Amino acid sequence: MKNDNKQGAIQFYPIKNIQHDIKRYKGYSEYKSGDNVAKYIHELSIYINSQCTQKCQSCGQNYKQYTFCRKEKDNINIDLKALSSFIGRTALPSLYRINILGGNIWNYPQLEKLQQELSTLNVDIYYHTYISNFNLKQIDLNSFKHIVVLVNIAEYKETYNEAFHAIENIEYNFFITNETELNMVHSLIKKHQLIHYQIRPVYNKRNYEFFKEFVFINEEDIFERTHTFQDIFRNDTLNCNYFGKMTVFANGDVFADVNKKAIGDIYHNSISELIWKELETGQSWFRTRKRQKPCNKCIFREFCPPTSNIEVALRKNDLCYKLME
Closest CA to 148 of 171, 116, 175, 114: 171
Looking at residue 17, what is its pLDDT? 54
Give how far the C-alpha of residue 175 lies from the chain's centroid of Cα atoms, to the nearest Å: 15
Closest CA to 80 of 52, 114, 53: 114
Residue 265: phi and psi, rounded to 5, are -150, 165
pLDDT in tens, the chain (325 residues): 455 555 555 554 555 555 545 555 555 555 555 557 889 999 999 999 999 999 998 888 899 999 999 999 999 999 999 999 999 988 899 999 999 999 999 999 999 999 999 999 989 999 999 999 999 989 999 899 999 999 999 999 999 999 999 999 999 999 999 999 999 999 999 999 999 999 999 999 999 999 999 999 988 888 888 888 888 888 899 999 999 999 999 999 999 999 999 999 999 999 999 999 999 888 899 999 999 999 999 988 999 999 999 999 999 999 987 644 4
Non-local (6+) Cβ contacts of 54 within 8 A are 71, 104, 130, 132, 133
State the fold for domain 36-216+244-280.
TIM Barrel (3.20.20)
- pTM here is 0.89
Q: Is the peptide bond before 294 cis (omega within 30 degrees of 0)?
A: yes
Looking at residue 323, what is its pLDDT? 46
Looking at residue 59, what is its pLDDT? 87
Q: Is 95 exposed, middle or buried (0-12, 13-18, 19+ CB in 10 A)?
A: buried
Looking at residue 321, what is its pLDDT? 75
Looking at residue 325, what is its pLDDT? 43
